[in-house]
Amino acid sequence: MKNLKLASRAAAEQTVISVGDVAFGRDFVVMAGPCSVESEAQTLAAACAVKAAGADILRGGAFKPRTSPYSFQGLGLQGLKILDKARRETGLPIVTEVLDPRDVSWVAEFADILQIGTRNMQNFALLKEVGMSRRPVLLKRGMFSTLEEWLNCAEYILSEGNPDVILCERGIRTFENYTRNTLDLSAVPAIKELTHLPIVIDPTHSTGRLSLIGPMSLAAVASGADGLLIEVHHDPKTALCDADQALTPDLFETLMRQLRPLHAFMRSIAD
Protein backbone atom coordinates (compact mmCIF):
# COMPACT_ATOMS: atom_id res chain seq x y z
CA MET A 1 0.00 0.00 0.00
CA LYS A 2 1.41 3.26 -1.19
CA ASN A 3 2.66 5.75 1.39
CA LEU A 4 2.07 3.59 4.43
CA LYS A 5 4.88 3.65 6.94
CA LEU A 6 3.72 3.14 10.51
CA ALA A 7 0.52 1.30 9.58
CA SER A 8 2.09 -1.08 7.08
CA ARG A 9 2.20 -4.79 7.78
CA ALA A 10 5.98 -4.74 7.82
CA ALA A 11 6.21 -1.95 10.38
CA ALA A 12 5.30 -3.97 13.47
CA GLU A 13 4.04 -7.18 15.00
CA GLN A 14 0.32 -7.43 15.80
CA THR A 15 -0.75 -4.34 17.72
CA VAL A 16 -2.33 -5.19 21.07
CA ILE A 17 -4.43 -2.48 22.72
CA SER A 18 -5.50 -3.03 26.30
CA VAL A 19 -8.74 -1.44 27.47
CA GLY A 20 -10.02 -2.45 30.87
CA ASP A 21 -9.75 -6.20 31.24
CA VAL A 22 -9.48 -7.00 27.54
CA ALA A 23 -7.05 -6.38 24.74
CA PHE A 24 -7.83 -5.77 21.07
CA GLY A 25 -5.55 -7.90 18.92
CA ARG A 26 -5.43 -10.61 21.59
CA ASP A 27 -9.01 -11.22 22.78
CA PHE A 28 -12.31 -11.19 20.93
CA VAL A 29 -13.75 -7.92 22.18
CA VAL A 30 -17.47 -7.19 22.21
CA MET A 31 -18.57 -3.56 22.42
CA ALA A 32 -22.30 -3.13 22.85
CA GLY A 33 -24.83 -0.54 23.86
CA PRO A 34 -27.28 1.98 22.53
CA CYS A 35 -26.77 4.06 19.40
CA SER A 36 -27.26 7.24 21.42
CA VAL A 37 -27.39 8.13 25.04
CA GLU A 38 -30.97 9.28 25.54
CA SER A 39 -31.33 9.32 29.31
CA GLU A 40 -29.70 7.97 32.42
CA ALA A 41 -32.33 5.28 32.86
CA GLN A 42 -32.05 4.09 29.25
CA THR A 43 -28.26 4.03 29.31
CA LEU A 44 -27.99 2.24 32.64
CA ALA A 45 -30.54 -0.33 31.57
CA ALA A 46 -28.60 -1.07 28.39
CA ALA A 47 -25.26 -1.04 30.21
CA CYS A 48 -26.40 -3.53 32.82
CA ALA A 49 -27.94 -5.76 30.18
CA VAL A 50 -24.85 -5.92 27.97
CA LYS A 51 -22.63 -6.38 31.00
CA ALA A 52 -24.78 -9.29 32.17
CA ALA A 53 -24.62 -10.87 28.73
CA GLY A 54 -20.84 -10.67 28.69
CA ALA A 55 -19.97 -7.54 26.72
CA ASP A 56 -16.52 -6.09 27.35
CA ILE A 57 -17.07 -2.43 26.56
CA LEU A 58 -20.08 -0.08 26.56
CA ARG A 59 -20.79 1.88 23.42
CA GLY A 60 -23.04 4.94 23.34
CA GLY A 61 -23.14 8.23 21.46
CA ALA A 62 -23.27 11.62 23.11
CA PHE A 63 -22.61 13.43 19.83
CA LYS A 64 -24.64 12.07 16.92
CA PRO A 65 -23.79 12.91 13.31
CA ARG A 66 -27.21 13.03 11.69
CA THR A 67 -28.15 13.48 8.05
CA SER A 68 -30.58 16.23 8.93
CA PRO A 69 -29.84 19.21 11.19
CA TYR A 70 -33.31 18.76 12.63
CA SER A 71 -32.74 15.22 13.93
CA PHE A 72 -31.71 14.51 17.52
CA GLN A 73 -28.04 15.52 17.76
CA GLY A 74 -27.15 13.84 21.04
CA LEU A 75 -26.99 15.01 24.64
CA GLY A 76 -23.38 16.23 24.50
CA LEU A 77 -21.70 16.78 27.87
CA GLN A 78 -24.77 15.50 29.70
CA GLY A 79 -24.53 12.30 27.69
CA LEU A 80 -20.89 11.87 28.58
CA LYS A 81 -21.71 12.25 32.26
CA ILE A 82 -24.35 9.55 31.94
CA LEU A 83 -21.81 7.28 30.25
CA ASP A 84 -19.40 8.00 33.07
CA LYS A 85 -22.02 6.93 35.57
CA ALA A 86 -22.72 3.76 33.59
CA ARG A 87 -19.02 2.97 33.66
CA ARG A 88 -18.89 3.36 37.43
CA GLU A 89 -21.93 1.17 37.91
CA THR A 90 -20.91 -1.64 35.56
CA GLY A 91 -17.14 -1.39 35.35
CA LEU A 92 -17.37 -1.37 31.56
CA PRO A 93 -15.01 0.97 29.68
CA ILE A 94 -16.66 3.45 27.30
CA VAL A 95 -16.31 3.95 23.55
CA THR A 96 -17.96 7.12 22.26
CA GLU A 97 -17.79 9.26 19.15
CA VAL A 98 -16.15 12.65 18.82
CA LEU A 99 -17.03 14.94 15.92
CA ASP A 100 -15.13 18.16 16.39
CA PRO A 101 -11.40 18.67 16.91
CA ARG A 102 -12.22 21.24 19.58
CA ASP A 103 -13.94 18.53 21.65
CA VAL A 104 -11.22 15.89 21.58
CA SER A 105 -9.32 16.84 24.71
CA TRP A 106 -12.32 17.09 27.02
CA VAL A 107 -14.24 14.14 25.54
CA ALA A 108 -11.08 12.11 26.14
CA GLU A 109 -11.57 12.77 29.85
CA PHE A 110 -14.77 10.70 29.72
CA ALA A 111 -14.00 8.17 27.02
CA ASP A 112 -11.81 5.09 27.18
CA ILE A 113 -11.86 4.84 23.39
CA LEU A 114 -12.53 7.72 20.99
CA GLN A 115 -14.62 6.77 17.98
CA ILE A 116 -14.21 8.42 14.57
CA GLY A 117 -17.37 7.87 12.55
CA THR A 118 -17.64 6.86 8.91
CA ARG A 119 -18.44 10.39 7.71
CA ASN A 120 -15.34 11.74 9.43
CA MET A 121 -12.88 9.10 8.27
CA GLN A 122 -11.13 11.70 6.11
CA ASN A 123 -11.70 14.63 8.47
CA PHE A 124 -7.98 15.18 8.68
CA ALA A 125 -8.16 17.94 11.29
CA LEU A 126 -10.00 15.55 13.58
CA LEU A 127 -7.62 12.68 12.83
CA LYS A 128 -4.62 14.80 13.73
CA GLU A 129 -6.27 15.85 16.96
CA VAL A 130 -7.05 12.30 18.13
CA GLY A 131 -3.55 11.40 17.00
CA MET A 132 -2.31 13.75 19.72
CA SER A 133 -4.61 12.18 22.33
CA ARG A 134 -3.54 9.31 24.56
CA ARG A 135 -6.79 7.42 24.10
CA PRO A 136 -7.13 4.49 21.72
CA VAL A 137 -9.06 5.43 18.59
CA LEU A 138 -11.74 3.35 16.90
CA LEU A 139 -11.54 4.42 13.25
CA LYS A 140 -14.58 3.50 11.20
CA ARG A 141 -14.12 2.92 7.52
CA GLY A 142 -15.71 5.53 5.28
CA MET A 143 -18.72 4.04 3.57
CA PHE A 144 -17.04 5.17 0.35
CA SER A 145 -13.45 4.27 1.12
CA THR A 146 -10.94 1.86 -0.25
CA LEU A 147 -8.81 -0.12 2.14
CA GLU A 148 -5.85 1.97 1.06
CA GLU A 149 -7.54 5.24 1.94
CA TRP A 150 -8.66 3.82 5.27
CA LEU A 151 -5.17 2.75 6.23
CA ASN A 152 -3.82 6.14 5.23
CA CYS A 153 -6.27 7.66 7.72
CA ALA A 154 -4.90 5.33 10.37
CA GLU A 155 -1.47 6.56 9.30
CA TYR A 156 -2.59 10.15 10.01
CA ILE A 157 -3.31 9.13 13.61
CA LEU A 158 -0.19 7.01 14.06
CA SER A 159 2.04 9.70 12.60
CA GLU A 160 0.90 12.13 15.30
CA GLY A 161 2.18 9.76 17.96
CA ASN A 162 -0.84 7.67 18.91
CA PRO A 163 -0.14 4.00 18.14
CA ASP A 164 -3.50 2.65 19.32
CA VAL A 165 -5.82 2.52 16.36
CA ILE A 166 -8.63 -0.05 16.09
CA LEU A 167 -10.13 -0.33 12.62
CA CYS A 168 -13.88 -0.86 12.30
CA GLU A 169 -15.54 -2.08 9.09
CA ARG A 170 -19.16 -0.86 9.06
CA GLY A 171 -20.34 -1.48 5.53
CA ILE A 172 -19.77 0.27 2.24
CA ARG A 173 -22.21 1.91 -0.10
CA THR A 174 -23.36 -0.08 -3.11
CA PHE A 175 -26.44 -0.35 -5.31
CA GLU A 176 -27.97 -3.05 -3.08
CA ASN A 177 -30.83 -1.62 -1.08
CA TYR A 178 -32.19 -4.59 0.85
CA THR A 179 -29.43 -3.94 3.35
CA ARG A 180 -28.55 -0.45 4.57
CA ASN A 181 -24.97 -0.89 3.39
CA THR A 182 -22.97 -3.86 2.15
CA LEU A 183 -20.80 -5.42 4.85
CA ASP A 184 -17.38 -6.03 3.30
CA LEU A 185 -16.29 -8.91 5.47
CA SER A 186 -13.39 -9.71 3.17
CA ALA A 187 -11.86 -6.55 4.61
CA VAL A 188 -10.97 -8.61 7.69
CA PRO A 189 -8.43 -10.97 6.11
CA ALA A 190 -7.36 -8.22 3.71
CA ILE A 191 -6.60 -5.82 6.56
CA LYS A 192 -4.75 -8.58 8.39
CA GLU A 193 -2.34 -8.91 5.48
CA LEU A 194 -1.97 -5.16 5.04
CA THR A 195 -1.47 -3.95 8.59
CA HIS A 196 -0.76 -4.97 12.19
CA LEU A 197 -3.72 -3.03 13.57
CA PRO A 198 -6.75 -4.89 14.98
CA ILE A 199 -10.04 -4.83 13.10
CA VAL A 200 -13.58 -5.15 14.42
CA ILE A 201 -16.94 -5.42 12.66
CA ASP A 202 -20.07 -3.34 13.09
CA PRO A 203 -22.87 -5.71 12.05
CA THR A 204 -25.57 -3.20 12.95
CA HIS A 205 -24.92 -0.25 10.63
CA SER A 206 -23.59 -2.42 7.84
CA THR A 207 -26.74 -4.51 7.52
CA GLY A 208 -29.35 -2.24 9.04
CA ARG A 209 -31.54 -5.29 9.55
CA LEU A 210 -32.14 -7.00 12.84
CA SER A 211 -32.37 -10.45 11.30
CA LEU A 212 -28.93 -10.22 9.70
CA ILE A 213 -26.98 -9.11 12.76
CA GLY A 214 -26.64 -12.56 14.31
CA PRO A 215 -25.43 -14.41 11.21
CA MET A 216 -23.04 -11.60 10.28
CA SER A 217 -21.63 -11.48 13.80
CA LEU A 218 -20.87 -15.18 13.64
CA ALA A 219 -19.38 -14.79 10.17
CA ALA A 220 -17.20 -11.98 11.50
CA VAL A 221 -15.79 -14.30 14.14
CA ALA A 222 -15.10 -16.97 11.54
CA SER A 223 -13.41 -14.48 9.21
CA GLY A 224 -10.89 -13.65 11.91
CA ALA A 225 -12.18 -10.32 13.19
CA ASP A 226 -10.90 -9.06 16.53
CA GLY A 227 -14.26 -8.00 17.86
CA LEU A 228 -17.67 -6.51 17.31
CA LEU A 229 -19.46 -3.20 17.83
CA ILE A 230 -23.19 -3.88 18.25
CA GLU A 231 -26.20 -1.76 19.05
CA VAL A 232 -28.29 -2.98 21.96
CA HIS A 233 -31.25 -1.02 23.32
CA HIS A 234 -33.39 -2.06 26.26
CA ASP A 235 -36.52 -1.03 24.31
CA PRO A 236 -35.68 -0.55 20.62
CA LYS A 237 -39.14 0.64 19.64
CA THR A 238 -38.60 3.82 21.65
CA ALA A 239 -35.03 4.51 20.50
CA LEU A 240 -34.33 8.04 19.25
CA CYS A 241 -32.21 6.73 16.39
CA ASP A 242 -31.79 3.43 14.54
CA ALA A 243 -34.88 2.00 16.21
CA ASP A 244 -35.18 -0.75 13.61
CA GLN A 245 -31.77 -2.26 14.04
CA ALA A 246 -30.93 -2.43 17.74
CA LEU A 247 -30.90 -5.83 19.41
CA THR A 248 -32.96 -6.34 22.52
CA PRO A 249 -31.01 -7.56 25.57
CA ASP A 250 -32.53 -11.01 25.04
CA LEU A 251 -31.39 -11.28 21.43
CA PHE A 252 -27.96 -10.00 22.41
CA GLU A 253 -27.64 -12.58 25.16
CA THR A 254 -28.59 -15.37 22.75
CA LEU A 255 -25.97 -14.16 20.31
CA MET A 256 -23.28 -13.93 23.00
CA ARG A 257 -23.90 -17.55 23.92
CA GLN A 258 -22.85 -18.45 20.35
CA LEU A 259 -20.07 -15.92 19.80
CA ARG A 260 -17.69 -16.91 22.59
CA PRO A 261 -17.80 -20.66 21.92
CA LEU A 262 -17.39 -20.03 18.20
CA HIS A 263 -14.34 -17.88 18.84
CA ALA A 264 -12.81 -20.59 21.00
CA PHE A 265 -13.61 -23.17 18.33
CA MET A 266 -12.00 -21.07 15.59
CA ARG A 267 -8.82 -20.89 17.67
CA SER A 268 -8.88 -24.65 18.04
CA ILE A 269 -8.99 -25.30 14.29
CA ALA A 270 -6.50 -22.61 13.31
CA ASP A 271 -3.37 -24.09 11.84
Q: Does 14 bind its own copies (CB under 8 A)?
A: no
Q: Does 228 bind its own copies (CB under 8 A)?
A: no
Specify the residue, 18 or 174, whose C-beta has the smaller distance to its own copies. Answer: 174
Q: Which amino acid is at 227?
A: G
Quick check: 251 binds its own copies (CB under 8 A)?
Answer: no
Site string for its own copies, 147-186 (x = CB under 8 A): xxx--x--xx--x------------xxxxxxxx--xxxxx
Phi, psi of 122 (to 5 degrees): -110, 30
Asked if 8 and 195 touch (Cβ cutoff 8 Å), the reply is: yes
Q: Is 70 among the residues that bind its own copies (CB under 8 A)?
A: yes
Q: What contacts 95, CB < 8 A, 6 or more positions away? A: 31, 57, 58, 59, 111, 112, 113, 114, 115, 138, 229
Answer for which of 26, 81, 85, 119 binds its own copies (CB under 8 A) is 119
Q: Rank residues 66 and 77 by Cβ distance to its own copies and give the closer one.
A: 66
Sole binder of its own copies in the list 18, 39, 66, 243 (CB under 8 A): 66
Does 106 interact with its own copies (rule: CB under 8 A)? no
Please, are residues 206 and 245 in contact by the beta-carbon 8 Å criterion?
Answer: no
Phi and psi torsions of 162, nearest 5°:
-100, 110
Amino acid at the residue 126: L
E strand or H helix at 265, and its extent?
Answer: helix 249-269
With CB under 8 A as the contact rule, which of the stretches 23-31, 49-57, 69-77, 242-250 interacts with its own copies? Answer: 69-77
Applying CB under 8 A, the span of 12-20, 47-55, 75-83, 220-228 interacting with its own copies comes to 220-228
Applying CB under 8 A, which of residues 144, 238, 243, 250 lies at the interface with its own copies? 144
- Please choose, out of 19-27, 36-44, 48-56, 210-218, the segment that lies near its own copies by the rule CB under 8 A: 210-218
Instruction: Please give the residues from 24 up to 53 whose contact with its own copies meets the rule CB under 8 A.
Output: none
Residue 94 · residue 113 · CB < 8 Å = yes
Q: Is 72 in the site for its own copies (CB under 8 A)?
A: no
CB of 224 to its own copies, least distance (A): 5
d(CA 65, CA 232): 19
CA 260/CA 28 separation, integer angstroms:
8
Give CA–CA dist 215/101, Å, rounded. 36
Q: Which of residues 179-208 bind its own copies (CB under 8 A)?
A: 179, 182-186, 188-190, 193, 206-207
